[in-house]
Amino acid sequence: MTGFRLEDITRRFAANGAQKTVLQDISLTVESGAFVTVVGPSGVGKTTLLRMIAGLDRGFEGRVTWPEGRRPKIGMVFQEPRLVPWLSILDNLLLIAEPGARSEALALLDLVELQGCADALPRQLSGGMQRRAALARALLAKPDLLLLDEPLISLDSTRAERLRARLLAFWQAGKPTIVMVTHDFAEAIELSSRVIALAPETGRIALDRAIPLPYPRQMTDPAEASLLGELRDLAKDWPAPPPSPESEGEERAGNTGLRLLTI
């Protein structure tokens, strides 16, 4: 478990011969064992923020600081599953696991509702199923810090609700630090101990709110409904999100990316 601090983070990218600022003057401390969600419109820099925390993007101004100066064990679930296409789903999980982790890997496949898929190749699963396998792989690595980039985006509402409950139980049992990007405000309130909203155009923090409410949470609770309304008011002028990835029932070819989840 570990916390970290972002100090005066600004990220600019070259675009059409000019510099486009995506994130600006981001300073915040994430406490050890927190579950933080980051919301905001598409293109505001949510994924970029995760990549900077993970150490995959170093072209920014400012600093990411760690307790005692040591980067922890980090697991990341990308928007793309990044499974090795020629390995079975089980072997994809075991690729970054400690020896003797087979039974735990199978249990995590059950957790993400991929029973019976251990011997399948990634291309035999839908995109949503591949993302669930990537989530199981990240959990198996037992990271101190888990970074999640919309891990439940393409699931049907019933399955997503079950997996949110299971993810919450996983966090409560071990209390790793989690930072998750989502477009779903209700999901952010249901899961997290803190929600951060990034503003379009400026790339600054528009809202940073602790959620000191007991679990499990229901959107019918007045405090939760009030926060949900506040987020929706904040987002009235945000650009519409892009279409969701393919649904669970649709097939697609396996991703050929080879980057491991733990860095």
Answer whether the bond into residue 216 is a cis peptide, omega within 30°: yes
**Domain residue ranges of the chain, discontinuous segments joined by +:** 4-234
**What is the pLDDT averaged over residues 40-56?**
93
What is the CATH code for 4-234?
A: 3.40.50.300
Residue 263 in this model has a pLDDT that exceeds 70? no
The answer to whether residues 132 and 163 touch, using CB atoms and an 8 Å cutoff, is: yes
Check residue 242 and give its pLDDT.
61
Check residue 99 and give its pLDDT.
86
> What is the Cα–Cα distance from 82 to 5, expressed in whole angstroms?
28
> What is the Cα–Cα distance from 3 to 30, expressed in whole angstroms?
5
Check residue 255 and give its pLDDT.
34
Lowest mean pLDDT among 133-137, 166-170, 224-228: 224-228
pLDDT digits (tens, 9 = 90+) for 121-133: 999 999 889 999 9
**What is the pLDDT averaged over residues 88-103?**
92
Percent above pLDDT 70 for the chain? 90
Band of the pLDDT at 254, cuts 50, 70, 90? very low
DSSP class of residue 262 equals B
The answer to whether residues 239 and 43 touch, using CB atoms and an 8 Å cutoff, is: yes
Residue 48 in this model has a pLDDT that exceeds 80? yes
